[in-house]
Amino acid sequence: MSVGFIGAGRMAQALSRGFISKGIVKPQKMMASDQSESILDFMKKQGVSTTNCNIELVERCDLVVMAVKPHLVADVLQEISDFFTTDKMFVSIAAGVPLEVLETNLPEETRVLRAMPNTACLVHAGTEDQLDAVTGLSGSGPAYAFATIESLADGGVKMGLPRDMATKLAAQTLFGAAKMVLESGKHPGQLKDEVCSPGGTTITAMHELERGGFRGTIMDAVEASALKAKEMG
Ligand code: NAD
């Protein structure tokens, strides 16, 4: 079976690398389409054929994986749907794009699947250590974040805020900070420095966090979870 990736970005690269290293699909049986030549270079180096034309990819592949960003899925479906025949299979990994949207934009009776690979795919380098580290960080991480939100809310309640408002503020604060890290591309330490005015409230609070071993405790938690994953693995 030949497999084609529409969009050759991070997920397509991680999945194709995984398919090759596990011997699931040979590179000669894979193809990737993207508008960016520099992105396609990675695929070429792996022996995967490349194209700038999504329609060519659809015509040449039995299984087509939609790996563009979610907001682009509908446009790409419109572009390829006339060339999609029912002997082919379609898989979307786009987050938040429902099956119905995929099915209504493809010919009737097309076999359509939705899959949600997790971040571990992105570091699939065949090394167990990295996968254990991902478990310690982002597998167990939501629990650390929930505990942080709860602690922030407790602090707010202690200082007089109603519980509902404190929890919402705490969650929005973490959400906003995470968004800034992802969107600004700045080092989190720099963003922290930018919000600490000399002699101000935030640096005073940071001092308390440091005194309590905040960062070391979180690092210890990631390490403990990763070591546990390795032990169980
Ligand atoms: P990415 O931005 O790294 O890759 C997307 C690629 O699509 C880019 O190389 C871009 O040039 C290309 N592209 C844009 N328009 C195109 C078009 N019209 N035709 C062909 N190619 C086009 O994104 P990603 O992180 O690889 O995510 C891809 C999909 O995987 C998303 O829908 C996302 O929701 C889903 N996903 C990502 C993750 C993750 O951890 N990154 C996890 C699960 C699912």
| Mean pLDDT (whole number) for 1-17 | 93
Closest-lying ligand 1 atom to the alpha carbon of residue 122: 40
pLDDT for the residue numbered 131 = 74
- C-beta 36 within 6 A of ligand 1: yes
Specify whether the CB–CB gap between 155 and 212 falls below 8 A: no
DSSP characters over 90-124: EEE--TT--HHHHHHTS-TT-EEEE----GGGGG-
pLDDT tens track for 193-202: 999 999 999 9
Helix (H) or strand (E) holding 50: strand 49-51
Q: Considering the entire predicted model, what is its pTM?
A: 0.66
User: Which value, to the nearest 10 degrees, does the dihedral of the CA atoms of residues 27, 28, 32, 35 take?
Assistant: 110
Spell 196-219 as b/e; 16+ CB within 10 A means b.
eeeeeeeeeebeeeeeeeeeeeee
- Give the C-alpha separation, 229 to 200, whole Å: 41
- C-beta 97 within 6 A of ligand 1: no
Closest-lying ligand 1 atom to the alpha carbon of residue 121: 40
- For ligand 1, mutation pick of 68, 81, 91 (most atoms within 8 Å of CB): 68
- Give the C-alpha separation, 90 to 106, whole Å: 9
User: What is the distance in A from the centroid of ligand 1 to the CA of 135?
Assistant: 23
pLDDT tens track for 153-196: 999 999 999 999 999 999 999 999 998 988 888 999 999 999 99
State which amino acid sits at residue 101. Answer: V
233, pLDDT greater than 70: no
User: What is the distance in A from the centroid of ligand 1 to the CA of 137?
Assistant: 23
pLDDT for the residue numbered 133 = 86
- For ligand 1, mutation pick of 10, 40, 77 (most atoms within 8 Å of CB): 10
- Give the C-alpha separation, 169 to 130, whole Å: 34
| Mean pLDDT (whole number) for 213-221 | 97
Specify whether the CB–CB gap between 9 and 67 falls below 8 A: yes
- C-beta 6 within 6 A of ligand 1: yes
Name the closest-CA residue to atom 4, ligand 1. Answer: 9
